[in-house]
Amino acid sequence: MNPRINIFWFRRDLRLEDNAGLYHALRGGLPVVPIFIFDRDILDRLENKQDRRVVFIAEALERLQGQLAVAGSSLEVFYDFPLEVFRGLLAKYRVGKVYCNGDYEPYARERDATIDRLLRESGSSLSAFKDQVIFEKNEVLNEDGRAYTVFTPYRKKWKSLLHASHLQAYPTEKYFSNFYKQASADIPTLFSLGFVPVKELFPSPTISRKLLARYGEERDFPAMAGTSRLGVHLRFGTISIRWLAGEALASSETFLNELIWRDFYQCILWHFPEVGRGRAFKKKYDLIPWRNNESEFERWCTGNTGYPMVDAGMRELRSTGYMHNRVRMITASFLTKHLLIDWRWGEAWFAEQLLDFDLAANNGGWQWAAGSGCDAAPYFRVFNPRLQAEKFDPQSAYIRRWVPEFEEADYLKPMVAHEEARKRAVETYRKALSG
């Protein structure tokens, strides 16, 4: 007879320690089979077969497999469509429950609902737990019981609700003996997934109190090592948000506020899922007549705009899969305001390039820059790339690293004059929004 087990489904929580859903699975009364699915609905759409994110996931799975081998168990890894994977698992095992951690993106919600229906037809179910955020869904609401759409009151309410229990780690280690015992299985190679391995030195999953103590003063200067670089680890759950929020609470209110922004954008995506499907949060902004010049977009993508700060950011992104947050705002403002190119084009480019791509944060940032999002910058706010460089890269150290030719005579002339572009953008927005 097929063994009776529970399943834990790893998704964006690739760690054994302090993992909410895994903790509940291991205490669920049946041996736990851990699984991971390389989802073909996602991977088959990735055109770049040297995608750093796939490499990061593969390395994280190898670490997990090594830890599980010590516990006498094994991760079962699949490359398939989730529905087909679970049909196979239901045939292989008598499945009690499937445990996972919540994912608030529209595709994930639809996928999970489909899997839950399949499981219920077989007498099982899907149980999801909060793990990637401190507060989720309806946990932080205004006095009218509605979702906040402005960050500052959300932040104040978030902090007023925070209790030590929200940061308490889940002691999964106590229950490792409850993993299903089986020999270690092979993990699909990157080649078998259709991807090419690349050598990549990923950021460390640690942060120093010293960096946190200086974070408020140094985070806006891209030439400094003043940011955590932990975005990819938060995106794929190789570190715990509870641990990181605890570190921030002890050392840096500014850094804690950045983590609250993450929760805020996840809640916006949950309550207004249409923003994750390409709609402006402020619907009138869908009426803006974008210029959408493809050759200008290409110059922006490749870092050849003639504005050194913009070019530095775009070249850093293509080269490393990372861009400093201040520079993300500058490059996004340039695309949407100076070039009047649809923010969705930029959002899609960042989604393809960023190692730490997260739909909620990426969408929130782009709509903020375009003026179309919740609590966004007003449409008439247009970053001046030259002034931003003077303020945040005064010695041109960041620019010099990525655009070494910027002081030479043959460096590109600016593709558009700032003052002319600003006036054009403000007038275009004003006409569209007043109609």
Instruction: Judge whether 6 counts as a catalytic residue.
Output: no
Binning the chain into helix, strand and coil, the percentages to the nearest 5 are 50, 10, 40
CB 365 within 8 A of CB 329: yes
Candidates 366, 368, 384, 402; catalytic one: 366
Which of the 8 DSSP states describes residue 341?
Answer: -
Candidates 59, 293, 325, 352; catalytic one: 325
Instruction: Judge whether 349 counts as a catalytic residue.
Output: no
Please give the Cα distance from 281 to 46 (Å, whole number): 26
| DSSP-derived 3-state class of residue 36 | strand
Please give the Cα distance from 197 to 136 (Å, whole number): 35
Query: Beta strand pairing status for 94-101 and 4-10?
Result: parallel
Closest CA to 392 of 273, 215, 217, 267: 217
Please give the Cα distance from 212 to 219 (Å, whole number): 10
Q: Checking phi first, is residue 321 left (phi over 0); if not, alpha (psi -120 to 50) or beta?
A: left
Candidates 59, 139, 258, 352; catalytic one: 258
Query: CB-side exposure of 322: number of CA atoms within 13 Å?
Result: 14
Please give the Cα distance from 104 to 392 (Å, whole number): 34
Instruction: Judge whether 300 counts as a catalytic residue.
Output: no
Please give the Cα distance from 349 to 338 (Å, whole number): 17
Candidates 9, 158, 300, 343; catalytic one: 343
Instruction: Judge whether 402 counts as a catalytic residue.
Output: no
Closest CA to 330 of 283, 404, 317: 317
Instruction: Judge whether 9 counts as a catalytic residue.
Output: no
Please give the Cα distance from 95 to 91 (Å, whole number): 9
- The total of other beta-carbon atoms located within 10 Å of residue 325's CB is 14
Candidates 9, 158, 261, 349; catalytic one: 261
Candidates 290, 293, 304, 352; catalytic one: 290
Write out 76-120 in H/E/C secondary structure: EEEEECHHHHHHHHHHHCEEEEEEEECCCCHHHHHHHHHHHHHHH
Angle at 168 between CA 167 and CA 172, to 5 degrees: 130
Write down the residue that tokens 């572009």 correspond to: 421
Who contacts 345 (Cβ-Cβ below 8 Å, separation ≥6)? 292, 297, 335
Q: Annotated catalytic sites, by residue?
A: 258, 261, 290, 325, 343, 366
